[in-house]
Amino acid sequence: MIADGARFVILSGCSGGGKSTLLAELARRGFATVEEPGRRIVKQELAGGGRALPWVDPVGFSRRAIAKALEDLEAAARYEGWVFFDRGLIDAAAGLQHNTGEPALETRVSPWRFHSQVFLTPPWPEIYETDPERRHDLGEALAEYARLLRVYPALGYEVVILPKISVAARADFLVEALGLPRKSAP
């Protein structure tokens, strides 16, 4: 557990809504960022012929995503300043709870707190694409988004929906919402 989780900001929301692109922009501006655990796991599993893939073994995948997210949090505790997470522990626990009925949000997440505002990317069908790591269709992405819209407020977080604007403008919006000084990309 960390004492300064208020500086850990979650970017979540609909798959294909621009989270990873926004995270890359924040990194270019000098902020510490943590890539989505799920995408990293899928890449590893595909490269090694593993089966902990969301479309093969969603429960195994969710358990690995929780473990990876906990590793990420331990590592991020050593970073200075604000840290932006592309999904992470809460999303992984919500997935496990959805797939098993286990109280994963209570048992896995409760020791951890993040910044009070969670930023969600809304569904954005115009930019949604599948790829080797994202094989689910937009309908499945919308169902997950609906779950996350319920999960975060239930855990006491304020959900801020990111506007559908350019990446740079989205990064500005996020930084301003947090009251941080604006940094431009080097």
Q: How far apart are CA 38 and CA 42, in angstroms?
A: 6
Residue type, 36: E
157 secondary structure, DSSP code: P
Q: Residue 148: which H helix or E strand, with range?
A: helix 138-154
CA proximity to 6, closest of 181, 178, 182, 183: 178
Two tokens, residue 147: 């779950």
Q: How far apart are CA 146 and CA 122, in angstroms?
A: 10
Beta bridge partners of 13: 121
pLDDT of residue 131: 61
pLDDT of residue 136: 62
Beta bridge partners of 119: 11, 160
Q: How far apart are CA 87 and CA 13, in angstroms?
A: 8
pLDDT of residue 44: 86
pLDDT of residue 111: 80
Q: How far apart are CA 63 and CA 79, in angstroms?
A: 25
Contact residues for 106 (Cβ-Cβ < 8 A; gap 6+): none
Place of tokens 């479309």: 55
pLDDT of residue 2: 42
According to the CATH classification, is domain 5-178 in 3.40.50.300? yes
pLDDT of residue 109: 87
Q: CA torsion sign, 23 to 27 to 32 to 38?
A: positive
Q: What is the pLDDT along the chain (186 residues), one digit of tens a residue?
A: 444 578 999 999 988 888 999 999 999 999 999 999 988 998 888 888 888 887 889 999 899 999 999 999 999 999 989 999 999 999 999 999 999 999 999 888 878 889 999 999 998 766 656 666 655 666 787 888 999 999 999 999 999 999 999 999 999 999 999 999 876 655
Two tokens, residue 98: 């959805």
Two tokens, residue 128: 């949604």
Contact residues for 98 (Cβ-Cβ < 8 A; gap 6+): 147
Through-space distance between the first and last CA atoms of the chain, rounded to whole angstroms: 33
